[in-house]
Amino acid sequence: MVTVLTAGHVNWDVTLRVDRLPQPDGEASIRSQHQSGGGSAANVAVALAGLGVRSELVGSVGDDDNGRLAKCELEDAGVCLDGLAVVEDAPTAVKYLLVDDAGEVSILGNDGANEAVRPADVDPDRVRRADHVHLTSQRPETASYIATVASEAGVPVSFDPGRRLGDRDYTETLVRADVVFATDHEAEAILESEYAARADDQLVAVTAGSDGAVLHAPDGRVSHPGFDVDPVDTSGAGDAFAAGFIATSLGLGLGPDCDTENDADDSARRRTLEFANACGALAASREGPRSVSTTADIRAFLERRN
């Protein structure tokens, strides 16, 4: 079975559905409250497991109730936690997600035990054994170390630096990455930064919510318009998109009638974006940052839409 190693944040999320996102000095009414596991690395790991990938996770949680709940959810989803550290002197990171009626999200949180993993804590053999490595927000030096080990072993690397891109120096990791995921806002910094001495074959996948996604490559760019769905919660849509993209890059998800061996082929790239956008759309149409779709779910969604 194909193995993907994800590395980065593992959170416990408290989702508050509100009638509106409050303005400064304003107030909003809470319609409902829901708790579940979160964190971009953990979300991608769970989504990949749902798509039939052997999913391994490198990250950290605290030795507390939230950490135990997060671990149980991940284990139930089929994620291998041999690389997950349990930290005694820091609590599990908790994020509070405010979700309005349009599915838009604002986030409050603390780092907690999220940044406990340092380069010396990472087993390099675990990285080398993977078929693909996906990195999310974490200590820059840890992300850089994992990316270096993977790339030197010939393991493809993808990277989603997340909202804190402007606050941290991820240059070394960006240079090592074969695929970079970013929102349309984050992409401005990535595509125009001086790190652009990147590998000639690097891809940058730029997501724009309901407006779909654009894939930038050295030999051109392709796009997919996305899918019109009634958004319920967009907090995990980007992670679901990344999982779908990674799965198809490994030859999974598209079905036996699709050939993606020539990754310079625009039609193959468009099919990859289509599948990834379908994963993101289904996630956005469900409550919580971690709704799991199977390959059959995605194919059924695409058959209905096409």
Considering 239, 257, 266, 297, which one is annotated as catalytic?
A: 239
pLDDT attached to residue 262: 47
Beta strands in 39-88 (DSSP E): 54-62, 80-87
271 contacts 53 by C-beta, under 8 angstroms: no
DSSP 145: H
Q: Is the pLDDT of residue 181 over 60?
A: yes
Contacts of 261 by beta carbon, 8 Å cutoff, 6+ apart: none
Helix (H, G, I), strand (E, B) or coil at 33: strand
Q: Give me the percent of the chain exceeding a pLDDT of 90.
A: 65
Model confidence band, residue 105 (pLDDT cutoffs 50, 70, 90): confident
Element (H, E) at 254: none
Angle at 125 between CA 119 and CA 128, to 5 degrees: 100
Q: Give me the percent of the chain exceeding a pLDDT of 70.
A: 91
Taking all residues of the chain, what is their mean pLDDT, rounded to a whole number? 89
Respond yes or no: is residue 131 known to be catalytic.
no
Q: Catalogue all structural domains in the chain, each as residue range(s) with its CATH number.
A: 3-305 (3.40.1190.20)
Q: Per-residue pLDDT tens for 260-281?
A: 444 447 888 999 999 999 999 9
Looking at per-residue confidence, does 253 or 65 come out higher? 65
13 contacts 35 by C-beta, under 8 angstroms: yes
Q: Per-residue pLDDT tens for 209-259?
A: 888 999 988 888 999 999 988 888 777 899 999 999 999 999 875 554 444
pTM over 0.85? The answer is yes
pLDDT attached to residue 192: 63
CA distance 11 to 44: 13
